[in-house]
Structure 1
Amino acid sequence: DSLYIISEVRKSLGLPCKLNQKVMHSRAWTHGLACAVMSNDTQIEGVKLLSPGKHIEISMKKKMFSSEYFLETKNIVKSTNLKELFAVDFDNYKQAIRDAATKMAQSTMSLLHLDDVMIKFGLSGGLDSRIILAAVLQKPELLKNIAITTNTHPSRKGDFEVVERLAKDFHFKFNDDEKIRMHRRKHSLKTVKIEDRFALWVLSSMGLFDMMYLHDSYWPKPHIIDMGGHGAETIKGTFAAKRFEDYSKPKKISNKTKVSRRFFSSYRESKSVNNTHFAIRNEISSSLETNGIVLDDFGSMQWHHLCYKSPIQNGRFLDRSTIAVRPFIQHSLYALAVSEINPFRNSNQRVWNMTQSGLMRPTLLHDMLIILNPKLATYQFENSKSNVSEEYVQIRLDELGGAIELEEREPYSIHGSISDIHNGPPGVFLDKVKHRFIDTDSDIESILSALEENWSEIADNGVKAAYKSAYDLAKERLSDRNFYPPSAGTPAAKIISHSMFDD
């Protein structure tokens, strides 16, 4: 899953690596949705992305008047109607949410019975990971196999403070380095160190996913496995009630401007904005149509997130680990989220008087948290808009049949052994990596250097104009030393990825 390696293969075969004009505007767009590829066309013309709901069929056919066979390679990509794929006939919401919460909770414990596995659980101050915490706290005896961690970067101070309070009141430890050290010592675990800290990002993310998470090591075997609340955005309907025009609006010229001296400058400005808007709109619309989704229909952006940003972003662990635990990425959970039976699906209205802060939009995930651990649901979140009052928790608890108590179940059967699984990229891939990041102790300086070098080599005025806002935003973020580093590098990554194109 490496666009970089594909570009190297194409070059070695004498095939071109040119900017795909169809996706130039979406790849240059700095909105959060656009930090991942937005359609089945990648930025390299001729290289396609196989998104969820698609597969390849290649058939062998016999040549006429001959005993030889040939591969039929036309129209090999087959698409599934996603609405049909996720159409589940639930009996009622009460039972469906209880079943969903139970299944999600049990999946968090799928590997905890393995003595040689430690689960590294990333807990924030948000709603998504707290639901996993609620599941874990149902079986406190399993906490010995879980290392709970939270981000210590100054930009995540609010998350840290929330986790600190939860740890005190619910009696669990977090950021316990000694726990992981003891696990490493017990099973003689050592990480594989990579001298080039940009290599894994170049291999796994460049041109596909713009956030710059830089890792310089990995576990050779998955004896330590990450678990987190990734993928919950699609379940709670973050994008369900949004239209594309809520993210990008065409620009109109007012009647007053039409008769003023500013008309020509306004016309040029609106033309540029509209060219970008409709180029991205057409790209997204075409990609969704192949899976039976109409962009102007309700929930289309939620489907788009499911097909593109969610799998790309939530699969970025693959450069370092073959396995990760993602409890929210389940067919049955998304099927319930998009079902008409979900009472929160069609609501984009904020409900008054339901929280300590006064306003919130309840979600399906709030219900899951409430029935897994009502007390945990009443604690404040890092974002106050997610807070719910004790009164609201009790109302939902009564309507949903009370709290869930997980039954004792047989653990998953594991065939094979963790020690037989290999993590990390092939050495031949690492050997192929070349980039323009300079060798310095400062990630920011390295990114800035690569940004400027790639920017100076963009000769096409149209391409430069398309990426100008990304360039300006990159310079702004990278000059702010308090900005969260992976996000600071995101707009820069859009321009740095041009290094894959032909010289």
Structure 2
Amino acid sequence: MSNFLLVVGHSERFGSLRNILDEISNGSQGDRSDGWLASGWRYSWFSHRAHADAIGGGGLFTGFAVDDKNQIFAFGSEGWRQQNQLGGGADLPGCYVRVGWNEGHLTVHGDVFRMMPLFVSTEPGVLLASDSAYVLMQLRRRLNLPVTLDRTVTEAVLWPNAMAAQLLGSRTLVREISYVTVGGHIRLDLRIPNSRASMSYTDVHTQFSPEGDAYRHELRTAAVRIASTVHTVATSGPEHARLALSGGKDSRICLAAVLLSSQVKHGAVFSCTNTQPQHQRDYEVVQALAKEFGFDLGSRLPPDHRTRQIRRFPQPFTLWLTDQSLCYYPFKVQSYALAAPGPFSIAGLGSELYKGNYELQTLPQVISSLAARMPRVARAVDEIATDALLAAGVQPGEPQSVEWHYLLLRNALHGGRFVPATKLGLRPLQQSNLVGLAKLAGTARFPELEHPSQISDDLLALLNPSLAARPFDKPGKNGLITKQGVAVS
């Protein structure tokens, strides 16, 4: 199944849910936890080792969080409880979902970059939430609840563009199921028997903003966090830091953080899976870096140990259905994952958040271009995307509104595809202060920052000038030191 399923119902409705929930759990009590809430409300929670997800005092947590302020990793409910004792509680990077309740309300939050997907479906007196829209759709069918096609969403899907390769907003192909974007959380009023859950949002301008008043400060803060995170993982066990490299910039920033410490370099495992002919340059670049900077490609563990580390999924298509079928449209099937707990898969995903993946456009500019070719599709895209931006506090016509849209949707859904295989996917380049830094416009932008794409270049040059000066997969990426060195000197 998916990573989690939360079913909340008032006692007047919960009786009709009980038999179906019993069938879902199929006698596996370890994967289900039940409890009472306030005013006659009850919940059932499904996850791996569901009882271990309980937080003392009322709540549930599954996954892990990274708390840079307190310099800790919070694993599972116990880790989250301890993190809260240190003054935490806000949404953090990582990959998790947390549920909390009191006498008046129940809330559901996710990690700040939404690496753990969060979908919701609600009826009077019933709340359903999961990381899988497909699970919610099938559960609605079992409960004889409506499952209706959203025709506006189907129209928008016809746009052959990466921006529409996944959901364009909270609306999904099923009208009764919504996606909770970055900055959003679910809220249910427990004081009313027939209440329906609603979604509330934090303004992303507030949630993602620079922490200081100097460009160098922001870069150094991010660099320290990246290096600290990678070091923590790499020193937690042999080959616990598993770094996938390419010939591009993003994974090289992670590599630069690894190379800061000989202990980390010799404890991590490096790989380059781009061995196909069309990616030959990637592999050539990585091989050259490995030789020059003294790290090995591939595991150093014995062959039998490496074999035991891999588990294969007997039904990859079923995994795709529960994970991506209603939210991420390219057909990407994952057939295996790491078997043992501990290893983190480290990837460079995240720098697109602040280097201008959509060319710093506004939504009206994108819609105008699309309308000239596909007017009906443009209207559908505009309607759905505009709603998502406004909910997050972004005006469609403001500078970089489409980059904010990238944060809300594509970064999350494209980056969160690994979750059914492992929650331990680490994306250290996802730094909230750098996102805010890149979105500054006009006189608010720091004078050293000419263009958001400069941020990742300067970050790499700061972490390792020698790596920044070495060739990349494409000639246009070369020469970072001479172009950007002034910013990090």
Q: What is the TM-score with the length of structure 2 in the denominator?
A: 0.67
Are 1:232 and 2:354 matched, yes or no? no
The equivalent residue for 1:208 is 327
Structure 1 partner of 2:70: none
Pairwise mapping of residues 62-461 of structure 1 onto structure 2 (< 5 A)?
70-73=193-196, 76-115=198-237, 118-150=240-272, 151-174=274-297, 176-179=298-301, 181=303, 184=306, 189-239=308-358, 241-244=360-363, 247-250=366-369, 273-339=374-440, 340-343=444-447, 347=451, 363-388=454-479, 390-392=481-483, 395-396=485-486, 399-401=487-489
Q: How far off is 1:242 after superposition? A: 1.9
Q: Secondary structure at the match of 1:382?
A: coil
Identity, in percent, stands at 24
Distance change >3 Å, CA 344–CA 385, structure 1 → 2: farther
- Unmatched tracts of structure 2, length 5 or more: 1-130
1:329-352 CA-to-partner distances (Å, cap 9, x unmatched) read: 23233233324345576748xxxx
Q: 2: distance between equivalents of 1:285 and 1:345? A: 29
**Does the 8 Å CA contact 1:237/1:363 hold for their aligned counterparts?**
no
The 2-side partners of 1:48 and 1:235 are apart by 27
Q: Could you state the TM-score of these two structures normalised by the residue count of structure 1?
A: 0.65
Distance of aligned partners of 1:70 and 1:132 in 2 relative to their CA distance in 1, 3 Å threshold: same
Moved more, 378-387 or 242-251: 242-251
1:40-76 CA deviation, whole Å, 9 max, x = no partner?
Answer: 0001121100111111121222xxxxxxx625326x2
Per-residue Cα deviation, 1:85-113 (whole angstroms, up to 9, x for no partner): 22345221122212221222222222122
Measure the CA separation in 1 of the matches of 2:464 and 2:418.
29
Q: Which amino acid aligns with 1:60?
A: L
**Cα distance, 1:83–1:200 mapped onto 2, change above 3 Å:** same
Q: In structure 2, what is the Cα distance between the partners aligned to 1:122 and 1:162?
A: 13
Bigger Rg, which one: 1
Q: Is the 8 A contact 1:241 1:347 kept in 2?
A: no
Q: Give the counterpart letter for 2:215 in structure 1.
A: Y
SS of the counterpart of 2:424? Answer: coil
* Distance change >3 Å, CA 379–CA 328, structure 1 → 2: same
* Matched-pair contact (CA < 8 Å) for 2:211–2:218: no
Read off the aligned partner of 2:222 and give its amino acid letter.
A
Report if the CA contact (8 A) 2:240-2:343 is conserved: yes
Of the structure 1 ranges 369-378 and 326-335, higher mean CA displacement relative to structure 2 is found in 326-335
Structure in which a larger fraction of residues adopt helix: 1
Between the two structures, name the one with larger relative contact order (CA 8 Å, sep ≥ 6). 1
Aligned-partner Cα distance in 1 for 2:229–2:404: 24
Structure 1, unpaired ranges of 5+: 62-68, 253-269, 349-361, 402-503
